[in-house]
Amino acid sequence: MPRPHMCKAPPMSIPGVVIRISILVGLACCVASGPASAQSRMYKCVDAKGKTYYTQTPPAECLGRDTQIINSKSGSVVNKIEGQLTPEQQAQREEEKKKKAEQEAQAREERRKNTALLNTYSSEKDINDARARALKENEAGINETEKRIAAALKRQKELDSEKEFYVKTAPPPKLAQDLRNNEVDMKNQRELLEVQKKQVSTINTKYGEDKRRFLELTKGGSKR
């Protein structure tokens, strides 16, 4: 019985074998990365309101926002999509960055103040004592300013009496200069006295706020 006719492939050179193997490997990779790979892929993003989405397809809520492609089996990030931002979205992102930076700066400043407060006072009594010292020092300053104002008023009367001798003629240059200097000094001292009196309220407010924060930070009886 005659053997069936079989087509024989022409002899293949070594480079031809390598090319064929490469093609087969490539096809195998394509098959492996087909539907099964797509099913193991998740998209993660955060919208403008801070809500996080995990979806099988890129969520519409995150259009124009950074999106991570995650392997749902391992949880690792395999890629990242940076959306094309419109000018409005870019401006919004810049505003969000600015706001976040401001919030972080405020948080750092708050931590710094809290640390300084706890390093300054060890008890509520320390705050009360510090308030009393500040008020006492301010009171001493008020008394000293009032004395200088009284001295300026006395000097003003002396200069006015001396000026009476020059009713028909101009007073000497030195007397005129002394009158001007004394008037300026008295004005400055009165302005200082007004500031010092207002300082009483400022001191009470400051130490009242220090006490409030101190009690918040040490709530429970131990300093944190």
Residues 138, 210, single domain; the answer is yes
* 138 within some domain: yes
Residues 144, 204, single domain; the answer is yes
* 29 within some domain: no
Nearest residue to 190 (alpha-carbon basis) of 156, 137, 148: 148
* 3 within some domain: no
pLDDT at 183 over 90: yes
* 13 within some domain: no
* 159 within some domain: yes
pLDDT given for residue 9 in this prediction:
47
pLDDT-derived band at 63, boundaries 50, 70, 90: confident
Residues 115, 172, single domain; the answer is no
Spatial distance between the Cα atoms of 42 and 65, rounded to a whole number of angstroms = 16
Q: What is the pTM of this model?
A: 0.54
| Domain count along the chain | 3
* pLDDT tens per residue, range 104-133: 999 999 999 999 999 999 999 999 999 999
Residues 131, 208, single domain; the answer is yes
Domain limits for position 92: 85-120
pLDDT-derived band at 12, boundaries 50, 70, 90: very low
Residue range 16-34: average pLDDT?
A: 38
* 20 within some domain: no
Q: CA–CA distance from 90 to each of 67, 68, 100 (Å)?
A: 16, 19, 15
Query: Which of 75, 93, 120 is a domain's end point?
Result: 120
Average model confidence (pLDDT) across the chain: 81
* 1 within some domain: no
* 77 within some domain: yes
Nearest residue to 71 (alpha-carbon basis) of 98, 109, 44: 44
Nearest residue to 44 (alpha-carbon basis) of 66, 23, 27, 63: 66
Structure tokens given for 119? 């390093």
Q: Bridge-partner residues for 43, per DSSP? A: 55, 69
More confident residue, 9 or 142: 142
* Helix residue ranges, H only, 80-172: 87-120, 124-163
Residues 179, 151, single domain; the answer is yes
Residues 53, 75, single domain; the answer is yes
pLDDT given for residue 42 in this prediction:
84
Give the helix/strand (H/E) hosting 80: strand 77-81
Residues 110, 133, single domain; the answer is no
Query: Which of 103, 120, 137 is a domain's end point?
Result: 120
Residue range 51-78: average pLDDT?
A: 81
Residues 70, 135, single domain; the answer is no
Residues 147, 201, single domain; the answer is yes
pLDDT-derived band at 87, boundaries 50, 70, 90: confident
